[in-house]
Structure 1
Amino acid sequence: MNNAPVRTVSDAKRDFYSHHTRPINSIYRRVVDELMVEMHLLSVNADFIYDPIYALGIVTTFDRFMVGYEPERDKDSIFNGLCRSINSTPEHYRGEAEAVKASVNGMSLDDLKGQFENLGDGGDGLRGTLAAIAHREKFKYSRPFGIGLYTLVEAVAPAEALKEKADVETLFKDLAGKLNISPDKLQKDVELYRSNMEKFAQAQEVMKDMLAADRKKREDRKKAAEAEAETLVEPVAAAPEAGESGDSAE
């Protein structure tokens, strides 16, 4: 029996900042904090079992909501900190996420839906992962899992198939039923994710405009300062030396 104390959110945050030591850009801080807390709470939940679809949800959430982060080079360090804070690695998460996404390459939406059929027979690859989830007595559903599932659908579905809210709800209700998970939770998380992506894209456009305006102001101030410096230097350069005069004393 393992009597080790359960790690706390504070432990996870301490581990995170031991790996990523730079400040986090304010507009993205909430994304990082929420992801860190969510990953930690799931990692210490007795009913939670990691799977590649969950990993895809984590990677997708991070990559999409961190678009435009400056400095760009810090993104890898931040993701590394998130993974290390739950005693995992970014290589593990990204490797599993890329593998499960690659497994649907070349599939149509109907092909993907076919992976959810006859799960009682088990299987390998994606079908095996889905079968294990459907058969699990206490499957701990999570928001990242829902986002991972949506990412798989998004990878194979034509754009028009995901335009209408009613069509998306019908699709994910059917997939939830095949996996024996709550359709309401899955539909709610998918809709919230889609909505947040739209809002975040709008916020990023506003930020771009604000940053561009700020850069222009700085450039204008710099040009004005340089022009003022030039006007001060010119008279000094042209001033006669001491003792020189245009009139000669007789």
Structure 2
Amino acid sequence: MNNLRTVSDTKRNFYNQHTRPINTIYRRVVEELMVEMHLLSVNADFRYDPIYALGVVTAFERFMQGYQPERDKEPIFEALCQSIEDNPQRYRQDADRLRQLLQNVSAQQLFDWIDGKASLQGAEDLQAQMQAIAQNSKFKYSRLFAIGVFTLLELADAELVKDEKQRVEALKQVATALHVPEDKLNKDLELYRSNLDKIEQALITMADILSADRRKRQQRLQEKEAGVATSNGDSGSASGSSQDKTPSGS
């Protein structure tokens, strides 16, 4: 009997965990991420690793930027991980550990560490996992792993990833060291960066629409208040006129 989880099972798990509605512009982001994580989790060759965790956390944070209400973001992330029967704290802790580790590390030090030529204090276990990835002929590459790699480079040298020539060379070094497909790495990251730009533009557009809507509502309110004031003024004048017409002696 095949008890392999289906995409429908995962979606049902998610919406059982997170019962609040998700803003329309972000629902597609959440569901696409959910499906991607699901397909990896049921793949026989897939093995969780910290770079993948960093990719998941980074993708979620970047694509959910500006989500309102802000307090719902973490419950959504938790439900996302729990929907594939995984622990959200593991993702957060591994991503945070890599971020802390690379705070004072140069791009060259990062390359040497990934390649096994140099070590970083307190990160021997992480380096062993890097070597395991490089030596695994069945390693299941994914777009989320690519985002994790890109984030490593960003953390080590934010300016490097902005320069196309340097970025391509850096990705080539990482792909060679980890034995992952360079062409897929570049293609997935181009799409990732393009989608980030689209999300940012959508947020700007949405902010402009909301701002224009607020201005219109404020203008209508001011016009309404001005109308009420005018109406009250007219009533006062009419009342005064009636009093003037009242005979002074009766």
TM over 0.5: yes
Tell me how far apart the structure 1 counterparts of residues 105 and 112 of structure 2 sit (CA, whole Å). 10
Q: Are the counterparts in 1 of residues 115 and 178 from structure 2 also a CA contact under 8 Å?
A: no
2:153·2:161 contact (CA, 8 Å) conserved in 1? no
- AA partner of residue 48 (structure 2): Y
Point out where structure 1 has 5 or more consecutive residues left out of the alignment: none
How big is the shift at 1:65? 1.1
Matched with 2:207 is 208
1:85 aligns with 2:83: yes
Task: Give, in whole Å, the separation in 1 of the partners of 2:223 and 2:208.
Answer: 22
TM-score, normalised relative to structure 1: 0.89
Q: Is the 8 A contact 2:50 2:94 kept in 1?
A: yes
Q: Who is 1:231 aligned against?
A: 230
Q: CA deviation at 1:229?
A: 2.6
Q: Following the alignment from structure 1 to structure 2, what is the Cα–Cα distance between the partners of residues 238 and 22?
A: 54
Task: Write the distance in 1 (CA, Å) between the matches of 2:46 and 2:197.
Answer: 30
Q: Which residue of 2 aligns with 1:128?
A: 128
Counterpart mapping for 1:76-155 below 5 A: 76-118=74-116, 124-155=124-155
Q: What CA distance in whole angstroms lies between the structure 2 residues aligned with 1:225 and 1:88?
A: 55
Post-superposition offset of 1:236: 4.1
8 Å CA contact 1:103–1:125 kept in 2: the answer is: no
3-state DSSP class of the match of 1:116?
helix
Does residue 219 in structure 1 map to residue 218 in structure 2? yes
Tell me how far 1:235 sits from its aligned partner.
3.8
Superposed CA RMSD: 2.3
3-state SS of paired residue (1:125): helix
- TM-score scaled by length of structure 2: 0.89
Measured after TM superposition, the shift of residue 109 of structure 1 is 0.5
Letter paired with 1:79:
F
**1:29 — aligned with what?**
27
Structure 1 counterpart SS, 2:5? coil
Letter in 2 for 1:6: L
If each structure's helix is expressed as a fraction of its own residues, which one has the higher value?
2
The structure 1 segments of at least 4 consecutive aligned residues displaced by more than 6 Å after TM superposition are none
Q: 1:238 deviation in Å?
A: 5.8
TM-fit CA distance, 1:56: 0.5
Distance 1:17 1:150 in 2: 30
Q: Secondary structure at the match of 1:49?
A: coil
Report SS of the residue matched to 2:139: coil
Q: Quote the offset at 1:33 in angstroms.
A: 1.1
1:188 positional shift: 1.0
Instruction: Describe the shift of the 1:118–1:56 C-alpha distance in structure 2 as closer, same or farther (beyond 3 A).
Output: closer
SS in 1 for 2:3: coil
For residues 245 and 88 of structure 2, the distance between their equivalents in structure 1, rounded to whole angstroms, comes to 78
Matches for 1:188-207 after TM superposition, within 5 Å: 188-207=187-206
Q: How far 1:237 moved relative to its partner?
A: 5.5
TM-superposed CA distance for 1:158, in Å, is 4.6
**Residue 40 of structure 1 is aligned with which of 18, 38, 56?**
38
Q: 1:20 touches 1:81 (CA, 8 Å); kept in 2?
A: yes
Please state how far the C-alpha of 1:167 moved relative to its aligned partner: 2.4
- Percent of aligned positions with the same letter in both sequences? 48
What residue number does 2:53 align with? 55
